[in-house]
Structure 1
Amino acid sequence: MIELAVFDMAGTTIDEHGAVYDALRHAVETTGVAVDPVDLQTWMGTDKREAIDALVRLGGGAPDAELVERQYETFRAYLRESYAKQPPEPIAHADKALEELRARGIKVALTTGFSADVALPLLESLGWSTGEGGNLDAVVTSDEVPRGRPAPYMIQRAMEKTGTVDVRRVLVAGDTVVDLEAGFNAGAGVVVGVLTGQLTREQLELHPHTYVLDGVADLPGIAETQADD
């Protein structure tokens, strides 16, 4: 039986209209290097400072800590402007899916490659929160753990926050390859790819997974099939 569902934020539960993709590309390209779209997609879903460092190196640059921090601020500024012009909103039926899972006694956690200073205002803008009256049991940001995805640490931190002991009773869902890899690395009982991000079914199915679904709206049905396992 699934006890905890761990979801990615942008592209999985939240539609931010591609702003993260554009902001990350902008943050890297303003250092003077070119960004290969394949590399950019590979690093989506990871900690954004790690992504900037890796993408600048892949483009032939030699980033140091100061440059990475400066470009992270560029990333944040671009994202703020994008969100002001076109506010993020829940992926279709995502809020209903989270509500249904919690009504069944399944705890819900969100994990993200954003640090808390980006993630928490984003959730607040949607009216999503933890605590009494909130629709979430935990939120884990990239700055809470030693490494972001594909390391399993954010999933393990979500387990810690929700008091979940058995990782086989954890469902992990996300729209990127590193979401799937993190779920696999954590040993999650169910690892789900969703098609609401930039990747196709064929691209996601190349990587370890239990299911590839159209979106999180389909997840309550999957959780139901695990009820007697």
Structure 2
Amino acid sequence: MIELAVFDMAGTTIEEHGAVYEALRHAVEATGVTVAPADLQTWMGTDKREAIAALVRIGGGSPDAELVERQYEVFRTFLKQRYEEVPPEPIAHADKALEELRARGVKIALTTGFSADVALPLLASLGWAVGGDGNLDAVVTADEVRRGRPAPYMIHRAMEKCGVLDVGSVLVAGDTVVDLEAGTHAGAGVVVGVLTGQLTREQLEAHPHTHVLNSVADVPGLPETAS
């Protein structure tokens, strides 16, 4: 039985209309390098500072710490503007799925390649919160761990926050390859790819997983989540 469901944020539980993709490309290309779409997709879902450094390097640039921090601010400013223009919203029926899982006793954690300065205001804009009357049991941001996805650390940190001991009782779901890789590296019992991001079923199914679903709205229908 699943004790903890760990979901990615942008593209998985939150519809942000491609803003992260655009912001990351803008921040990297502002340094004068060109970003190939395939490389950009490879680094989606990862820690955004790591992604900026990697993509600048792939494009032939030299990303020192000062440049990375400066371009992260470019990323954050661009993303904030896009969110103001087109506000993010929950993926269709995602909030209902979270409520249904919690009603069955499954704890809910969100993990993200965002740092807290981006993730927490985003969640607040949706009315999502941890504890009390909130709909979440934990949020883990990329700046809480030594390394973000595809490393398993955010998932293990979510387990720590939620008091879950058995990684086999953890479900991980996300819309990118690194989400699937992180779940696999963590040893999660259920690793789910969802089709609400930029990747096709075939692209997700090429990587280790247990299920590929249309949306997180379908997660409560998995036999593993039955109470």
TM-score, normalised by the number of residues in structure 1: 0.98
For structure 1, list consecutive stretches of 5 or more residues without a partner in the other structure.
none
Measured in 1, the distance between the counterparts of 2:56 and 2:207 equals 25
Measured in 2, the distance between the counterparts of 1:225 and 1:167 equals 14
The share of aligned pairs that are identical, in percent, is 80
Q: CA deviation at 1:121?
A: 0.1
Partner AA of 2:214 in structure 1: D
Q: CA deviation at 1:227?
A: 4.2
What is the Cα-based RMSD across aligned positions, in Å? 0.8
3-state SS of paired residue (1:149): coil
**Mapping 1:124-143, distance limit 5 Å:** 124-143=124-143
Matched, 1:177 2:182: no
Q: CA deviation at 1:225?
A: 3.8
Q: CA deviation at 1:59?
A: 0.3
Aligned partners of 2:109 and 2:137 also within 8 Å:
yes
Measured in 2, the distance between the counterparts of 1:194 and 1:225 equals 16
Per-residue CA distance 1:114-158 (angstroms, 9 max, x = gap): 000000000000000001000000000000000000000000000
Q: Which residue number in structure 1 is paired with residue 153 of structure 2?
A: 153
3-state SS of paired residue (1:165): coil
Would you identify which runs of 4 or more consecutive aligned residues in structure 1 move more than 2 Å?
Answer: 224-228
Q: Which residue number in structure 2 is paired with residue 48 of structure 1?
A: 48
CA separation of 1:34/1:98 partners in 2, compared to 1, >3 Å: closer, same or farther? Answer: same
Matched, 1:193 2:155: no
3-state SS of paired residue (2:217): helix
Aligned length: 227
Per-residue CA distance 1:5-25 (angstroms, 9 max, x = gap): 000000000000000000000
Measured in 2, the distance between the counterparts of 1:148 and 1:139 equals 14
Measured in 1, the distance between the counterparts of 2:147 and 2:131 equals 26
TM-score, normalised by the number of residues in structure 2: 0.99
Aligned partners of 2:33 and 2:56 also within 8 Å:
yes
3-state SS of paired residue (1:78): helix
